[in-house]
Amino acid sequence: MRLLKKLVGAALVLGVAGAVVGWFLSAPVRLDSETLAQLGPGDAARGKRIFYAGGCTSCHAKPGAQGDARLQLAGGLELKTPFGIFVPPNISQDATDGIGGWSVEDLANAMLKGVSPSGEHFYPAFPYASYARMKPADIADLHAFLKTLPAVVGKAPPNSLGFPFNIRRGIGLWKRLYLSDQPVVSFPDGTPDPVMAGRYLVEGPGHCGECHTPRDFAGGTRKSEWLAGATAAEGSGIVPNITSGEGGLSDWSEADIAYFLETGFTPDFDSVGGAMVDVQRNMAELTPEDRAAISAYLKAIPPHPSGYPARKQPAN
Say what the pLDDT of residue 65 is. 84
Contact partners, residue 40, CB within 8 Å, separation at least 6: 136, 137, 140
Cβ–Cβ < 8 Å for 76, 62 = yes
Q: For residue range 248-287, what is the model confidence (pLDDT) as tens digits?
A: 999 999 999 999 999 999 998 888 888 888 899 999 999 9
- Residue 5: pLDDT band (50, 70, 90) is low
pTM exceeds cut of 0.85: yes
Say what the pLDDT of residue 308 is. 77
* 22 strand-pairing partners: none
Say what the pLDDT of residue 311 is. 43
H or E segment and range at residue 84: strand 84-86
Buried b (16+ CB within 10 A) or exposed e, 191-228: eeebbebbbbbbbbbbbbbbbbbbbeeebebeeebbbb
Q: For residue range 63-77, what is the model confidence (pLDDT) as tens digits?
A: 888 888 899 999 999
